[in-house]
Amino acid sequence: MAKELHKDICEQEIFSGIYNKYSKDLHNFLYYKYGEELNPNDKAQDAFVKLWENCKKVKLSKAKAFLYKVANNMMLNEIKHQKVVLRHQKLKPRDYTHETPEFLMEKEQYFKKYQHALSRLSGEQRVAFMLNKVEGKKHEEIAEMLGITRKVVEYRIYTAFSILKNELEGFKI
């Protein structure tokens, strides 16, 4: 068995030679086997990226087999992904709820009251309250964003909460 000369695929000239030698054939292999829909050119390019990432581990004599194996696996993974996508597209979302029409109407009325109550808050109170309760920002973050102290933020949130609690029955957050 003849000793293989150690040629490092990580050298730019050797990698370029491998790319020039196999890129068109790899693309054609993927195109003929899987068609144009799954982007064989992209998968061929990705296979070369994988080869570059693993250049220290792959011997020069195994580079072609590595490229074809990786590219073929990428195409198979893409096919599996497409099957999952198609399966989920076939599922119809349910168009019903277990909520009564009365509950839905009350929910809509409550939301309108909530919007009206929010509009009655001062701008500072509304901003601090929404940043805290809707976006989940901490008091320190809000203070930093608005350029005020933490205590002022706490006061604005507390007063906004009190106003909403007085205007809306059963308001809790």
Q: Does the pLDDT at position 46 exceed 90?
A: yes
pLDDT above 70 for 170? no
Same structural domain, 113 and 80: no
So what's the pLDDT on residue 163?
Answer: 85
Residue 55: half-sphere exposure toward Cβ, Cα within 13 Å = 16
151 burial (CB, 10 Å; 0-12 / 13-18 / 19+) is exposed
Indicate if 77 and 129 belong to the same structural domain.
no
65 with 124, same domain? Answer: no
Residues 17 and 72 in one domain: yes
Domain boundary among 90, 111, 142: 90
pTM beyond 0.85: the answer is no
Select the more confidently predicted residue: 168 or 14. Answer: 14
90-123 tens-digit pLDDT? 777 666 667 788 888 888 888 888 888 888 888 8
Specify if 113 maps to a domain: yes
Which long-range contacts link 26-34 to residues 24+ away (Cβ below 8 Å)? 26/67, 26/68, 26/71, 29/68, 29/71, 30/71, 30/72, 30/75, 33/72, 33/75, 34/75, 34/79
pLDDT digits (tens, 9 = 90+) for 53-74: 998 888 988 999 999 999 999 9
Q: Which residue range is the domain that position 51 belongs to?
A: 12-90
On whether both 76 and 119 belong to a single domain, the answer is no
Q: Are 86 and 143 part of one and the same domain?
A: no
Q: Do 125 and 146 reside in the same domain of the chain?
A: yes
pLDDT value at residue 71: 92
- Are residues 71 and 110 both part of a single domain? no
CATH code, domain carrying 128 = 1.10.10.10
Identify whether 3 is part of a domain.
no
What domain count does the chain have?
Answer: 2
Q: Which among 25, 24, 21, 66 is positioned nearest to 47, based on CA atoms? A: 66
